[in-house]
Amino acid sequence: MTTTDPHILFEDWFAEAQALEPNDASAMTLATADRQGRPSARMVLLKGHDPRGFVFYTNLGSRKGEDLNANPQAALLFHWKSLRRQIRIEGPVEPVSAEEADAYFASRPRDSQIGAWASDQSRPLDRRETFESRYVEHRDKYEGGDVPRPPHWSGFRVVPERIEFWIDRPHRLHERRLFLRDGDSWAESLLYP
């Protein structure tokens, strides 16, 4: 049965990718643009999704954090090569709540929590030893206790306005199914390959 809800279709495809994709199925390309419209893309991990949108976390002072603060629009791309499928998502970006960020941060491995304190993500680093020293400093600081979420670390939610499901077909006769947000519902159409 074919669904007309792109979130249900995403759930189905994502579950299949989690079961069959040999690499990390939650890896997605995040594309942003700065205030002048200069684009930048990088891989991040999907950390949550529901009908409100698709969530990832980062250092707010990173390049992506600064881009999203200046220009709160983003595009995501999931490419599961072994499944010959991809999903493209575009829309405005909003910050997650402090409660959501706290809950996710608390679920991270302790070394990752300490790394969030030690890293000035995307900033110049004079040498690796500087970062490692900062890591040890924060590890020692929080020894024996919980590691709180840094104030410069949180998450973003991409609120989808456009979701495209792409299936690879022989001879480049691909299948492209497009969903566009229409108020509280979705309008569906097909695209030429």
Beta carbons of 155 and 100 less than 8 angstroms apart = yes
**Under DSSP, is residue 53 helix (H, G, I), strand (E, B) or coil?**
strand
pLDDT of residue 4: 82
**CA neighbor of 135 nearest in space, from 152, 112, 158, 151:** 112
| Spatial CB neighbours of 120, under 8 Å, sequence gap ≥ 6 | 59, 61
> What percent of the chain has a predicted confidence (pLDDT) above 70?
98
Summarize pLDDT for 112-162 with one digit per residue, the tens.
999 999 999 989 999 999 999 999 999 999 999 999 999 999 999 999 999
Q: Which two tokens stand for residue 8?
A: 């249900």
Q: Which pTM was predicted?
A: 0.94
pLDDT of residue 93: 98
| Spatial CB neighbours of 54, under 8 Å, sequence gap ≥ 6 | 28, 46, 48, 76, 89, 157, 158, 160
Summarize pLDDT for 45-75 with one digit per residue, the tens.
999 999 999 999 999 999 999 999 999 999 9
Residue 98 backbone phi and psi in degrees, to 5: -60, -35
**CA neighbor of 63 nearest in space, from 16, 124, 146:** 124
Q: Which residues are catalytic?
A: 172
The DSSP symbol for 172 reads G
**Local confidence band at 1 (pLDDT 50, 70, 90 cut-offs):** very low
Beta strands in the chain (DSSP E): 27-33, 39-45, 48-50, 53-59, 73-80, 85-95, 153-158, 162-167, 175-182, 185-191
Beta carbons of 177 and 143 less than 8 angstroms apart = no
Domains of the chain in sequence order: 6-98+152-191 (2.30.110.10)
